[in-house]
Amino acid sequence: MLGDKGRFVLPPEFRNTVKLSSEGRTLCLVKDEEFDCLVGFGLSREDEFEDMLDREEERAIRLNRDFSRLKRSNQLYGYKKIPFDDSGRFTMPDYLLGLANITDSLYFQGAGSSFTVWNPEVLARQDDGWSNAKAACAGMVAEAAAKAGKKAGGKGK
């Protein structure tokens, strides 16, 4: 959920991985090329980009498909470096919010060298290939709503 001062929070399980990968507190975010979400990773992932470009170019040649190394390079290296504090709080640039249709909440999905960052409503509209993520996200949204309801109910006492 969007917190105080317009900040989101990188969950601890993602925060620790990104810290190790970035040798500090730098979250890298870029719009996913296929889905209406963002891809997040640490700075060390950049070390893989040239090999990825080589593999993608070789595959395109083998399959007789068009491939623009310049375009793909700009996609890979076009991420935004976002600092976060020890609690994982960070501010998302407006253009990234718009690209992924993010409003006031985020859902983080995945592991490994990268992960996806979703608006829960957008994730809920994905096909059944995302059923596990959709179920986990729905559970987290319900839990957050219940906590918010308890806080609101307790204020008047």
The mean per-residue pLDDT over the stretch 13-21 comes to 89
Q: Where does the pLDDT of residue 154 fall: very low under 50, low under 70, confident under 90, or very high at 90 and above?
A: low
More confident residue, 74 or 155: 74
Asked if the model's pLDDT at residue 157 lies above 60, the reply is: no
DSSP the chain: ---GGG-EE--HHHHHHHHHHHTSSEEEEEE-SSSSSEEEE-GGGGGGHHHHHHHHHHHHHHTT----HHHHHHHHH--EEEE--TT-EE---HHHHHHTT--S--EEE--TT-EEEE-HHHHHTS-GGGHHHHHHHHHHHHHHHHHHHHHHHHTT-
Asked if the model's pLDDT at residue 35 lies above 60, the reply is: yes
Q: How many CB atoms lie within 10 A of CB 43?
A: 16
Domains for the chain: give ranges and CATH numbers. Answer: 4-154 (3.40.1550.20)
Asked if the model's pLDDT at residue 127 lies above 90, the reply is: yes
Asked if the model's pLDDT at residue 69 lies above 50, the reply is: yes
pLDDT digits (tens, 9 = 90+) for 72-100: 999 889 999 999 999 999 999 999 999 99
**Mean pLDDT score across all residues of the chain:** 90
Q: Do residues 25 and 85 touch, judged by C-beta distance below 8 A?
A: yes
How many percent of the chain have pLDDT more than 70?
A: 93
Asked if the model's pLDDT at residue 155 lies above 60, the reply is: no
Residue 132 tokens, joined: 């596990």
More confident residue, 151 or 86: 86
The mean per-residue pLDDT over the stretch 95-106 comes to 94
Predicted TM-score (pTM) of this structure: 0.85
